């Protein structure tokens, strides 16, 4: 680096969606603190001014004006101060929305980088260089990518800039890359050709299992290897509806060594002095269960708090899913903010009642017991005029789930507690849940978690309690809950396997269909019975109408659930019929 003392502050913050005032106050406070420490550059995540993802807010006509006022506050905050400020905010260009990085220094706008996005989408990319004061930057050129011709012209312009002495003689050239633009080799290579000496990548990158390894080893390390440039990666942290950002910001030196690795799942800030000689760093990656569990804790806690709630209520059945949701809530909010309700029927086993009580005692959750027997009897009697032949078995089972949902929603209304639904991805995929019953709730923490993963998380939590979790240590999910066969207990001796394949088999088939997009016809080649695969596929397809009405939950896989038409006659077997038709049959 041209300057021997370039110090950068990385601030991974948890913005509140749409709260531009609150987010500006948080950014300004952290910026002042960083400036007080004598840093040269303070970097904040992508879209931190508004929160991300904006979804329909991007079309709100008032948003650009509010954002502009917020940016003016931050610009003014840098007046007379040493540190330059990089902040992510939405911008509009005519009718186009894009993610931008604004650079402020000494009360002035030093530059605006715009997310490139897909070629041809009208996104704008800039090259930013600095003067001998390493943070005194100016925009040298804006490249618009509307078509191939414009992109070719931009490449030629960049080549000429790379040969221009003023760029090379102006000290450190800092370039900001936004989001997944850093995944594109051509982006970093062009900036390198234009004279860049440092890459700063600001992100609102959602959590996915093993994503930290992907970011460091498979993406950014490649950009460093290709360009020989050090790289600063700052990621957002926090939950937003169905998205969870895990933080995990880091700095790689020009050799690809990890100089700084910030924690995941928590707001924090740290400084890095790039000019100082560092020893080779060792990246620290959490176990798969830890990264999933802690991401769910972060997503749940943020959804509750950002929605204006402090407490949650859970129907505690004594089964695995309700126990896991209660554990996540206890670790996210603290045990005194979790209220559990047992809702036994005539089919509820003593084991379920005792396991639920044991779980609540271990955590210190409040627990109430409300029997649903009287409510079921009253409802059954009231329905006699309309059902003279009595109720079908399935109807009677669903009544129990709906009675529980009714009582839990009543408690939610009465105490202003957010009701958490306890369904997991396996059950939601199969429609093994009752509308307006056990699907009731404002949030579904396990919505993207297969049943087999729920068990893995429970075993992991019983042996681990990382810093930042608010629950107790030790075996906090009773082993009798983990070891017992899964059952909805809506009928005598009922087990989940009466209606579903064993979960290890079911989850493996669902993984092929949902997460790997394996054609149904090829799934049996993975070792599954064709008839079973066909049954799972048809149940998955027919449950779409239920999924449309379910509460949101954190999505931690690339696929989640595809949104398909509810009224939908598509069937892969049509291929065979079409072949017959082509043969004249």
Kindly report, residue by residue over 30-84, the tens digit of the pLDDT.
999 999 999 999 999 999 999 999 888 888 888 999 999 999 999 999 999 999 9
Dist CA 411 CA 406 (whole Å): 9
| Two structure tokens written together for 406 | 């009714």
Exposure string of 325-360, with b = 16+ CB inside 10 Å and e = fewer, is bbbbbbbbbbbebbbbbbbbbebbeeebbebbbbbb
pLDDT per position as a tens digit, 371-417: 999 999 999 999 999 999 999 999 999 999 999 999 999 999 999 99
Residue 139 and residue 7: Cα distance in Å, rounded? 22
Residue 135 has pLDDT above 70, yes or no: no
Give the closest residue to 31 by CA, choosing from 52, 51, 9. Answer: 9
Question: Would you state the pLDDT for residue 283?
Answer: 65
First-to-final CA distance of the chain? 74
Q: Quote the pLDDT of residue 115.
A: 83
Q: With 80 as the cut, is the pLDDT of residue 451 above it? A: yes
Beta-carbon contacts of residue 252 (< 8 Å; ≥ 6 apart):
216, 220, 221, 224, 230, 231, 233, 258, 259
Measure CA 174 to chain center: 29
Q: What is the DSSP letter of 216?
A: I
Mean pLDDT of 448-458: 97
143-183 pLDDT, tens digit per residue, is 222 233 334 433 443 433 333 222 222 246 787 889 988 98
pTM: 0.86
Q: In this model, does residue 525 exceed pLDDT 90?
A: yes
CB 16 within 8 A of CB 22: yes
C-alpha 412, offset from chain centre: 26
Q: Quick count: other Cβ atoms within 10 Å of Cβ 525?
A: 12
Q: How far is CA 433 from the centre of its chain?
A: 24
CA pseudo-torsion sign 233, 234, 239, 243: negative
Q: Which of residues 500 and 92 earns the better pLDDT score?
A: 500
Tokens of 455: 């068990």
Q: pLDDT (tens digit, 9 = 90+) per residue, 472-506?
A: 999 999 999 999 999 888 888 888 888 899 999 99
Whether 444 has a pLDDT exceeding 90, the answer reads yes
- Phi, psi (rounded to 5 degrees) for 53: -85, 145
284-316 pLDDT tens trace: 789 999 999 999 999 999 999 999 999 999 999
Q: What is the pLDDT of residue 4?
A: 53
């Amino acid at each position: 680096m041209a300057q021997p003392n370039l110090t950068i502050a990385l601030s991974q913050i948890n913005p509140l969606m749409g709260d531009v005032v609150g987010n500006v106050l948080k950014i300004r406070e952290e910026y002042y603190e960083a400036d007080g420490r004598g840093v040269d550059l303070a970097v904040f995540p992508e879209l931190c001014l508004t929160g991300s993802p904006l979804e329909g807010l991007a079309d709100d006509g008032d948003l650009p004006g509010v954002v502009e006022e917020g940016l003016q506050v931050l610009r003014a905050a840098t007046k007379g101060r040493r540190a330059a400020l990089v902040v992510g905010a939405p911008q509009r260009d005519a009718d186009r929305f894009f993610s931008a990085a604004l650079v402020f220094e000494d009360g002035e706008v030093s530059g605006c980088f715009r997310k490139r996005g897909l070629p041809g989408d009208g996104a704008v990319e800039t090259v930013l260089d600095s003067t001998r004061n390493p943070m005194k930057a100016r925009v040298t050129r804006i490249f618009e990518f509307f078509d191939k011709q414009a992109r070719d012209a931009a490449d030629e312009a960049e080549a000429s800039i790379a040969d221009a002495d003023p760029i090379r003689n102006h000290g450190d050239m800092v370039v900001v890359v936004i989001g997944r633009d850093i995944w594109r080799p051509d982006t970093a290579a062009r900036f390198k050709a234009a004279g860049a000496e440092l890459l700063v990548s600001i992100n609102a990158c959602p959590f996915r299992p093993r994503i930290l390894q992907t970011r460091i080893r498979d993406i950014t390390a490649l950009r460093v290897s290709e360009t020989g440039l050090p790289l600063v990666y700052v990621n957002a942290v926090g939950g937003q509806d169905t998205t969870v950002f895990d933080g995990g910001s880091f700095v790689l030196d020009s050799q690809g060594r990890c100089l700084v690795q910030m924690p995941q799942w928590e707001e924090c800030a740290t400084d890095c002095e790039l000019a100082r000689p560092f020893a080779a760093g060792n990246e620290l990656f959490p176990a798969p269960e830890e990264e999933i569990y802690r991401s769910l804790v972060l997503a749940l806690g943020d959804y509750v708090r950002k929605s204006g709630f402090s407490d949650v209520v859970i129907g505690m059945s004594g089964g695995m899913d309700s126990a896991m949701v209660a554990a996540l809530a206890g670790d996210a909010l603290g045990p005194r903010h979790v209220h559990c309700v047992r809702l036994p029927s005539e089919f509820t086993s003593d084991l379920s009642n005792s396991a639920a009580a044991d779980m609540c005692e271990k955590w210190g959750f409040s627990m109430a017991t409300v029997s649903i027997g009287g409510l079921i009897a009253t409802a059954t009697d009231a329905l006699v005029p309309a059902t003279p032949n009595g109720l079908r078995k399935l109807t009677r089972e669903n009544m129990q789930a709906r009675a529980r949902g009714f009582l839990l929603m009543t408690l939610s209304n009465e105490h202003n507690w957010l009701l958490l639904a306890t369904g997991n991805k396996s059950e939601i995929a199969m429609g093994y849940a009752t509308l307006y019953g056990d699907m009731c709730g404002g949030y579904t923490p396990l919505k993207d978690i297969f049943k087999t993963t729920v068990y893995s998380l429970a075993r992991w939590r019983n042996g681990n309690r990382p810093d930042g979790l608010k629950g107790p240590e030790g075996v906090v999910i009773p082993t009798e809950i983990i070891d017992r066969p899964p059952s909805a207990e809506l009928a005598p001796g009922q087990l989940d396997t009466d209606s579903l394949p064993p979960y290890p088999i079911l989850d493996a088939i669902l993984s092929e269909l949902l997460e790997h997009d394996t054609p149904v016809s090829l799934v049996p080649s993975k070792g599954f019975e064709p008839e079973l695969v066909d049954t799972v596929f048809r149940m998955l397809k027919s449950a779409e109408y239920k999924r449309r009405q379910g509460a949101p939950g954190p999505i931690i896989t690339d696929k989640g659930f595809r949104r398909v038409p509810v009224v939908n006659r598509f069937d892969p077997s049509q291929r065979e019929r079409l072949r017959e038709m082509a043969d004249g049959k």
